[in-house]
Each structure stands twice: as structure tokens, then as C-alpha cells.
Amino acid sequence: MKEREASFSKFQQLGKVLMTPVMLLPIAGILVGIGSSFTTANVLGVMPFLNNEALQIIFKIMKAAGNTVFSNLPVIFAISIAIGYAKKEKGIAALSAFLAFLVMHNVVSVFLIGIGKLDPSALATGQSLILGVPSLDSGVFGGIIVGFMVAWLHNKYYNISLPPILGIFSGTKFVPMVSIVGAALLGIVMSIVWPLMQNILSYMGEIIYNTGAFGSVIYGVTERALLPFGLHHFIYLPFFFTNLGGSMTIDGQLVEGAVNIYQAMLASPTAMFDVDITRFVMNGKVVMAMFGLPGAGLAMYHCARPENKKMVKGLIIAAIIPSIFTGITEPIEYSFLFVAPLLFVVHAGFSGLAYLLTYLLQVNVPGPSAFGGPFFEHDI
């Protein structure tokens, strides 16, 4: 019984630690949503008064500010976990986490470039610039690993006493140094392990394409389930921009990749809707973003304790606005991902069901390729 209570207490602590970065997502989502929506050609065509230089600069600034949070979520999680689990000297823990995160990705970069698996001038799927460093995209999962590693090292060594000759490095000064060493070793491990996982997902893409309706379910489930690990790109990007997402001759020109085909369809006066193409352009995600997740948000509000309802209401409303209008679902998803992971498993399952239903019923609701929201988009 005591062990169960201790485990539950640790799980609650994790939820509280992760709530800090999660609370940043709603405002970031709103900024990106507004900035993206009011700079698109479709919206400017309907509301030409927005095509004002000063307004456009403001909207682009809002988009850039929000994207700063989304682009740096892994390091934000790393720092938050280190601060949350550090027993004392939390500032040193935060500094150590930031250094460790940088070291890990720099080691990954050097290692993969050295063995010829990473070309900084032509990054492959699953590789991206992390704080300016060409590296593997390990998503928030990589940040969480770094955060826990630093927290453990910090609590173990923040009050260490070294021999007099090394006394200057005793205590908190030792934590950043040992964190750098730990991060270097972690970077080597990630360089070996993470690409193997990415290769497995690449093979899964071929299975998805060749299994019709069942493949649509796999596509929807894995695209959501792999979001926390930063591996969801391996599910949708090959379908978006390569012939795995289909090939079609439109107006005499061969076009490959679901997004490219979809855009060509929009520009063509004769091309017709094809569910085998649009099923890869976030058909199912639109359903979840517009209806499923707002419903989940309403359920969270009703289940909140009376004294917390006002706070929860503000958080949920801010999180579902970008979900409905632009398909940016991370704010609402991260609000329950870490505090109720089983609920996220259910959510991933419902996402697969949404993709299945839109495929079987041949519903055409693809949204922007970047997000998956149907607002401000043309339809076929």
C-alpha cells in the first residue's frame, strides 16, 4: 500500500513539474494561430484590408513569438524537469540542463557527420536544426531524458566534497561539469539508438500505404502516439512529399506526394477529389482538432474540482482556439499527456478511428499541410 502511495505521489510530482511548460502552449498556440491565419492568401483574398504592411508585420511577429515556444519545447521540458526535481540550488540545475541539452545534440551532430549519416546542408527526415545545431529530432522525449539525467546528477553531486587540490570544483560547481560528461555519453547512445527507431517507422510507412482502410487507422494512431517522441514526422512527411503518398498526372504534369498533389488539385480546373490522396493530408486530424479535442476539453472542465473550474476554463479555452481554427493541437494534448497518459492512448485510438471513418465515407476535409485545421482553406 505504501509503495503504491509513493508511486502515485511521484506521478503527481511529475504532473506538477510538467505543468509549467504545458501552460506556455495555449498562448503560444493562439499567437501562431492568429499570425498564420491572417497572413494566408485565402484570408487576404476575403479580407483585403488585412493586407496592410503594418498589420502583416504584427501578425508575422505574433507567429514568430509563438513558434519560438513550439520550436524549443524539448529544451524547455529539459530545464523544467531539472528545476522541478532538484532538491536545492535549482538555478544550477537549470543551467546544467541547458548545457547538457546543447552538449547532447552537438555530440549527436558530430558523431553522425563523422560516420556520414548527417549532411548539414541537406537534412533528412527526422533530422533538424536544434538550437542551431544539425541533429536528430528527438522531440520533447529527448528533452525529458536530459532533464531527468541532470536532475539525478544534480541531487547526487550538488553538495559533493572533492579533495583539497580540486576543492574549487566542489559542490554546485561540479554539477555542470558532470552533466556535460553525462550528456556527451547520452549523445552517443542517442546517435545509435534513435536512427534504428526511425528506420522501423520508415518501413511502417510502406505498410500503411499498402493496407488501405487498415493503413488509415495505423496512420492516425501512430501519427498522434509518436508526437511526444518527435517521431511522428516519420509517419506523415514521407506521404506528404514523396511518391509514397501517391503520384498523379494533373493537367499533363506528373505530381508526387499527397500535399503536392492536393495543392495541384486546388489549382486545377478539372482535377477531382481522390480520398486515396487526401487521407494523408490530415483528413482525420481535422475531425479530432475541430470536434474531438474540444469535446475532451469540455469533459476536463466538467471533471475539474469546483475551486479549480475558473482556472481550468481559461486554460481549456485558450488551448482549443488554436486547435479548432488552425489544427495546432499540442496545447490541449500536452495538458493531459503527462498527467493522464492512458487518456492520451485513448486519444490516439480515436484519431485512428477518425482517419478510418473519413476514408470509408470518403469525406474530404483536408486542412493546411502544416497543421490540419480546415478553417481558411479551400476545399475540393
Kindly indicate the confidence band of residue 281, based on its pLDDT and cuts at 50, 70 and 90. Answer: confident
Q: Strands 127-130, 247-250: parallel, antiparallel or unpaired by DSSP?
A: unpaired
Q: Which three cell numbers stand for residue 48?
A: 483585403
pLDDT in tens, 239-277: 876 667 777 888 777 777 787 787 677 667 677 777 778
CA gap 32, 70 in Å, rounded? 9
Considering only 73-82, 211-220, 244-253, 341-350, which range has the smallest mean pLDDT?
Answer: 244-253
Q: Helix %, strand %, coil % for the chain, to 5?
A: 75, 5, 20
- Helix/strand/coil for 183: helix
Choice between 362 and 260, residue whose per-residue pLDDT is larger = 362
pTM of the model: 0.69
Backbone angles phi, psi at 50, to 5 degrees: -75, -15
Domain coordinates of the chain in residue numbers? 74-209, 222-360
CA gap 19, 335 in Å, rounded? 7
